[in-house]
Amino acid sequence: GINFNTAIAYTSLYNNTSGLTNTGVGGCSGDQNEGGIDNVYVGFRSGYENVSGEQNVFLGNRTDVTSANLTGVSVIGSDAKATTDWSTILGVNYTNVGIGFSDIIGGPQARLDVWRHELGSFFYVSNPTAVKIENDDVDVAGVSGAGIG
């Protein structure tokens, strides 16, 4: 029958037997997927270990999961891996994430770095457990090393 899968590159979605609406772009992308549904794999060996997980997005070479059947993960950045359902992973452990840093010399300087261009200031968080930024108010919980400049 029609499964609406798209595979572009050597062994992309190679083991798919019953999976539906998956897209694999890059060598070995989604290679181990057998029955997963609604997954997107972009990059060499992206999502390689995903066998039956659903609604996942893998963007970058060797982005992956640590369990064969996770659901709802978004993994972005080479070698990044998701370990739990419904999580978004940006990069590996030493990655700094910047929001609003397009064309800012030096880039993000902390694990989470938010540039507030309209005010000419920045907000950085080194070890966040919760951060909420709304208009000019900043609420930080369980943070060491947070600051506003």
The tens place of each residue's pLDDT in the chain, 149 residues long, gives 678 999 999 999 999 999 999 999 999 999 999 999 999 999 999 999 999 999 999 999 999 999 999 999 999 999 999 999 999 999 998 888 888 777 777 888 877 777 765 555 565 655 555 555 555 555 555 554 455 54
DSSP state of 46: T
Q: Are 53 and 73 in contact (CB under 8 A)?
A: yes
- CA 105 to CA 130: how far, in whole Å? 27
**Which residues make Cβ contacts (< 8 Å) with residue 17, sequence separation at least 6?**
34, 35
Helix (H) / strand (E) element for 82: namely strand 81-82
What's the full length of the chain, in residues?
149
Written as six digits, the tokens of 43 are: 């990059």
How far apart, in Å, are the Cα atoms of 67 and each of 7, 28, 90, 117, 148?
Answer: 22, 18, 18, 40, 38
Global pTM? Answer: 0.78
Close Cβ partners of 94 (under 8 Å, ≥ 6 residues apart): none
